Amino acid sequence: MLSNSIKKAIEESGYLLEFRIATNLTKMGYFTIPNYAFQDPDTGENKVVDIKAVGAEKITARRGEFVFPILLIECKNIKVPLVFFTFKELKLSSFLGKLHLSGIPKKIKAKTGQEKDLLDYLNIEKFHHYYKTGKLSSHFCGVIHKGNEYIPTHDLEGRTGNLYQTAIFPLIKAVHHDKQIYEKSLRPNVIDLQFYYPIFVVPGPIYECSFENAKPKYKKTEVVNFMVRYESAKMETAYLIDVVTEKKFPDLLVDIESENKKMSNLIKKRRDDLIKNVSRITQEKNYFSEKINFN
């Protein structure tokens, strides 16, 4: 029989939070992989994120065409408040950042000969949750109580450590790794797309700090759209991360399911155009013979 001290230690860790989130995903129909292993693109070391979950929206059954939402999730049982500094932006991907995707076709050529990103072609700014609030955060801190003072910091010490090193960077590196791996396994002459959702789940509380009339205004919230810009020899891009409380996580799943259904329905309606572009990209890049990573 486990002692109360051992039970308390387990409950205070992130294991039970991770288990609850994975159970919720399985109930929602996702194929769930706990402790998803990936190779750090910068160091080559093996790393893990807590959960990878794969959904599927069917485009055509006969040809086996699907849109796959890929959720990469870190769970931290954080006991201190997290404060995200938010600012307003135009509800456009050029300001609020883009959804990451891999597969084919990522580009669509119009009759005029002009190319546009698939996401712009689908006009996802009209329905994707990244663009609903027009708010963005690119900086945050946890507030810990030490001695007689409160200290804003990224480093929560103990098991959690530095949140950038233990949560934020693993998420974006897992996305980068998964995209690269998927590009090597594409099938010819079919629509084959994955859309990525890096997610950071905490018990809460989460607060927004915004500035109005040059004064900070604090507001409790359940979800924040957080952008991290990362640059190294192997990676250079911006990633959007949903920071969400465990309570709000099921609602986020509903939003993700809804927008992936909309994307798959748009792709079904425009499938002829997309297939033409699949053929064009295959020929132009000689992709399936040389395995070039096209963008």
| 265-276 residue pLDDT tens | 999 999 999 998
> If you ran DSSP here, which 8-state letter would residue 187 be given?
P
Examine residue 280 and state whether it is found in any structural domain, yes or no. Answer: yes
pLDDT surpassing 80 at residue 125: yes
pLDDT for res 6: 62
pLDDT for res 48: 95
Examine residue 140 and state whether it is found in any structural domain, yes or no. Answer: yes
Examine residue 10 and state whether it is found in any structural domain, yes or no. Answer: no
Examine residue 113 and state whether it is found in any structural domain, yes or no. Answer: yes
| Structural domain range at position 240 | 80-191+211-216+229-290
pLDDT surpassing 60 at residue 290: no
Examine residue 48 and state whether it is found in any structural domain, yes or no. Answer: no
Examine residue 57 and state whether it is found in any structural domain, yes or no. Answer: no
User: How much of the chain exceeds pLDDT 90, in percent?
Assistant: 60
Q: What is the mean pLDDT of the chain?
A: 87
pLDDT for res 291: 46
Q: How many domains does the chain have?
A: 1
Examine residue 49 and state whether it is found in any structural domain, yes or no. Answer: no
| Better pLDDT: 112 or 50 | 50
Q: What span, in angstroms and rounded, lies between the C-alpha atoms of 18 and 9?
A: 15
Write the DSSP string, 105-141: -SEEE-TTS-EEEHHHHTTGGGT-GGGSS-EEEEEEE
Examine residue 249 and state whether it is found in any structural domain, yes or no. Answer: yes
Q: How many helices (H) and strands (E) does the chain have?
A: 9, 15
Retrieve residue 142's tokens: 């946890």
Determine the Cα angle at 97 with ends 92 and 101, to 5°. Answer: 115
Q: 276 phi and psi, to 5 degrees?
A: -60, -40
Q: What span, in angstroms and rounded, lies between the C-alpha atoms of 290 and 32?
A: 32
pLDDT for res 114: 81
| Better pLDDT: 195 or 1 | 195
Contacts of 94 (CB under 8 A, 6+ apart): none
Contacts of 291 (CB under 8 A, 6+ apart): 184
pLDDT for res 69: 96
> If you ran DSSP here, which 8-state letter would residue 194 be given?
E
